[in-house]
Amino acid sequence: MVEQASLDKAHPHQAARAFQRQSAHQRLIILGLIVLTLALAVIAINAGAANTNPMQVLRTLLGLESGTSNIVIWNIRLPRVIAGMAAGAGLAVAGCVMQTCLRNPLASPSTLGISSAAAFGANLAIVAFGAGSIHSNTRDAVFIGNPYAVTLSAFGFSMVAMMLILLLARLRGFSPESVVLAGVAFGSLFSAASTLVQYFAEDVQVAAMVFWTFGDLGRVAWQEVAILSTLVVGTFIFFLLHRWDYNALDGGEEAAKSLGVHVEQIRFRSMLVASLITAVAVSFMGIIGFIGLIAPQMMRRVLGIDHRFLIPASAVTGAALLLFSDTLARTMISPVVLPVGAITSFFGAPLFLFLLAKGYTRR
Partner 1 sequence: MILTVQGVQFRYPNHPVLEDASFTVQQGELLAVLGTNGAGKTTLLKCVNRILKPTSGVVWIGDEAVSDISRNALAQRIGYVEQQRAGSRATVFNAVLLGRKPYIQWDITQNDIAIAGQALETLGLSEYALRYLDELSGGELQKVIIARALAQQPEILLMDEPTSNLDLKNQMEVLTLVRAITREQGIAAVMAMHDLNLALRFADQFLLLKDGRLFATGGPEVMTPKNIEAVYSVPVAMTAHNGYKVIIPL
**273-302 positions binding partner 1, by CB under 8 A:** 300
Stretch near partner 1 under the rule CB under 8 A, chosen from 6-14, 122-130, 150-158, 183-191: 6-14
- Of 197, 199, 185, 229, residue with least CA distance to 119: 197
Task: Give CA separation, 355 vs 180, 241, 260, 359, in Å.
Answer: 21, 29, 34, 6
Q: Considering the rule CB under 8 A, would residue 261 count as an interface residue with partner 1?
A: yes
Q: Considering the rule CB under 8 A, would residue 363 count as an interface residue with partner 1?
A: yes
Q: Considering the rule CB under 8 A, would residue 63 count as an interface residue with partner 1?
A: no
Q: Which one, 58 or 302, has the nearer CB to partner 1?
A: 302
Binding mask 9-38 for partner 1 (x = CB under 8 A): x-xxxxxx-xxx-x----------------
Q: Considering the rule CB under 8 A, would residue 172 count as an interface residue with partner 1?
A: no
Q: Find all residues with CB under 8 Å of 363, minimum gap 6, and list them.
A: none
Q: Considering the rule CB under 8 A, would residue 175 count as an interface residue with partner 1?
A: no
CB 113 within 8 A of CB 187: yes
Q: Considering the rule CB under 8 A, would residue 220 count as an interface residue with partner 1?
A: no
Provide the minimum distance between the beta carbon of 320 and partner 1 in the complex, in angstroms, as a whole number. 22
E strands in 51-201: 131-133, 142-144
Provide the minimum distance between the beta carbon of 315 and partner 1 in the complex, in angstroms, as a whole number. 18
Q: Which one, 68 or 258, has the nearer CB to partner 1?
A: 258
Q: Which one, 2 or 62, has the nearer CB to partner 1?
A: 2
C-alpha–C-alpha distance, residues 243 and 249, integer Å? 10
Q: What is the number of H-type helices and E-type strands within the chain?
A: 16, 2
C-alpha–C-alpha distance, residues 337 and 234, integer Å? 31
Q: Which one, 38 or 305, has the nearer CB to partner 1?
A: 305
Q: Considering the rule CB under 8 A, would residue 145 count as an interface residue with partner 1?
A: no
C-alpha–C-alpha distance, residues 283 and 115, integer Å? 9
Binding partner 1 by CB under 8 A: which of 92, 248, 294, 322? 248
29-54 as b/e: b if 16+ CB within 10 A = ebeebbeebeebbebbbbbbeeebee
CB atoms within 10 A of CB 94: 34
C-alpha–C-alpha distance, residues 361 and 72, integer Å? 43
Q: Considering the rule CB under 8 A, would residue 334 count as an interface residue with partner 1?
A: no
Q: Considering the rule CB under 8 A, would residue 148 count as an interface residue with partner 1?
A: no
| Type of residue found at 338 | L
Q: Considering the rule CB under 8 A, would residue 169 count as an interface residue with partner 1?
A: no
Q: Considering the rule CB under 8 A, would residue 61 count as an interface residue with partner 1?
A: no
Q: Considering the rule CB under 8 A, would residue 269 count as an interface residue with partner 1?
A: no
Provide the minimum distance between the beta carbon of 363 and partner 1 in the complex, in angstroms, as a whole number. 7
Binding interface with partner 1 (CB under 8 A): 1-4, 6-7, 9, 11-16, 18-20, 22, 244, 247-248, 250-252, 254-255, 257-262, 300, 304-306, 308, 360, 363
